[in-house]
C-alpha cells in the first residue's frame, strides 16, 4: 500500500466516521466502526510506507545515491567517488593553411 492509497483510506474512513449518520437504531453494520477501522488501516499503511520508503522505494538499489558527477557519494558507508585526471599533451596551435 502506498502513500496515496493510505491517504484515501484515511479520508474515506473519516467521512464514514464523522459525516455519515445512520437513522436505523440497530443497523446491520455500524458505519462509525467501519470508518474508524479504515482510518486505522490507512494510518498503519501510511506509517509503513514512510518507514519502508528508503529501503523499497525509488532508488532502493543505489542509483540515486551517487549524486552528480564530481560530487562525493551521498550518505555514510559509501566510498568516495574516484577522481580521474586526464592529462592532455601540449600541442602547438596549427599555423595558417598553406
**CA 39 to mean position of chain CA atoms:** 21
Residue of higher predicted confidence among 33 and 83: 33
Q: Which residues contact 46 (CB under 8 A, 6 or more apart)?
A: 3, 6, 7, 10
Average pLDDT over residues 48-60: 69
Q: Quick one: pLDDT at residue 13? A: 92
pLDDT at position 81 over 80 = no
Question: Considering the entire predicted model, what is its pTM?
Answer: 0.54
Domain boundaries, the chain: 3-56
**How do residues 23-47 score in pLDDT, each as one tens digit?**
887 888 888 899 999 999 999 999 9
Amino acid at each position: 500500500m502506498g502513500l496515496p492509497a493510505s491517504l484515501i483510506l484515511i479520508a474515506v474512513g473519516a467521512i464514514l466516521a464523522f459525516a455519515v449518520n445512520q437513522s436505523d437504531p440497530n443497523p446491520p453494520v455500524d458505519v462509525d466502526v467501519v470508518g474508524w477501522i479504515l482510518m486505522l488501516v490507512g494510518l498503519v499503511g501510511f506509517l509503513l510506507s514512510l518507514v519502508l520508503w528508503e529501503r523499497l522505494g525509488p532508488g532502493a538499489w543505489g542509483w540515486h545515491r551517487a549524486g552528480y558527477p564530481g560530487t562525493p557519494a551521498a550518505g555514510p558507508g559509501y566510498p568516495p567517488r574516484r577522481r580521474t585526471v586526464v592529462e592532455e599533451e601540449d600541442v602547438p596551435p596549427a599555423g595558417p593553411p598553406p
